[in-house]
Structure formats: C-alpha cells, structure tokens
Amino acid sequence: MAEYRLETPLSDDDVSQLKAGDIVYLNGTIYTARDAAHKRLVDLIEKGEPLPFDLQGAVIYFVGPTPPKPGEVIGSAGPTTSYRMDSYSPILIEHGLKGMIGKGKRNEAVREACKRYKAVYFGAVGGAGALLAQRIKAAKVIAYEELGPEAIRELVVEDFPVVVVNDIYGNDLYEEGRKRWARV
C-alpha cells in the first residue's frame, strides 16, 4: 500500500498510479451527490443537456451532510452506502467522472466502467462524519437545492482521507481483504 496526495480534477495519470488499498488525501474541489441527484445528472446526459458541473476529472462524494452549526462550513459529512448509485455511476464514468467516494461494495458494471474509462472508487470511513467535515474548507449548493441534504454541493477539501477500494486494474479491496483473512 502506498500513500498519495492528489489535486482535483483527477487525470488518467493520477488514477493509473493508484491500487486497491492505497491511502489518498484529496485536495481541491469535489462534488456531493446521492441517488436523486445522480438520476437527474443521468437524465441530463441522456437529453444532451449541460450538467451543473464539469464531469471531466471530477470526484463525487456520496454524502447528504447535516446542516452546519453556527461558524461551521458544513455539518457532519459521512459517506452513504454506494450501491444506490450503481445504476447511474457507469454512465457518469463514461462521461469523465474519475472518482467516487462512499462506503460499501460496488457492482460489476461499476467496476468494469472503472477499468474501461480509468476511474476509481474510494472508501471513506463511515461513522466519522464529524471528523471528515473538518477536512471540508468550503461548501456551497450548486444544483437541486430543493433536495435538501441531497442537493449537489461543491466542496473544497484539504487532505480529505480516503482509501482506494476499486482501481482501474479490476482490484477490489473488499475481496482482497476477505482472501487475506481467510488464509489466517
């Protein structure tokens, strides 16, 4: 396992160096979106309409943050379960998405899209939303405000800690972990 500090947007070169199990500290702009927002993004792609942000090299964090307390940038911002985005992620990856952050396994279609179009799936620690929020330096709603916590937000992050779960080579940290522990 290696450790990297990467700036967004991510490039093919950035994701090509990553392997399942690597620790990454993300810096720059990432976007939030959950299933309702993902559906809207895919609908826009299918209609040939512009998206609320550029997908090229983008990273989407599957999160519905809580409201911020006075003086805070954002409330608790822990990852949500990723499988709800599985039906939408392949088309977003095909259109330039380079990274996704969530928790839990992804389906085969997502893993294949990561391999084919050079994208990665990062895991963030569930239950650590208050700690992860400390790595978010700015947050603003950029689309679908009516979705409340599920609106699309633009976040500026500094050393946001994630681990590579699915890389562009077809590796899956969850499967590798099971195999490793099965031998013990």
| Residues with active-site annotation | 38
- Segment (H or E) for 142: strand 136-143
98 within 8 A of 9, measured Cβ to Cβ: yes
Would you state the structure tokens that stand for residue 82, as one six-digit string?
């990723």
Would you state the structure tokens that stand for residue 64, as one six-digit string?
């519905």
85 within 8 A of 62, measured Cβ to Cβ: yes
Torsion angle defined by CA atoms of residues 51, 35, 119 and 163, in that order, rounded to the nearest 10 degrees: 130
20 within 8 A of 171, measured Cβ to Cβ: yes
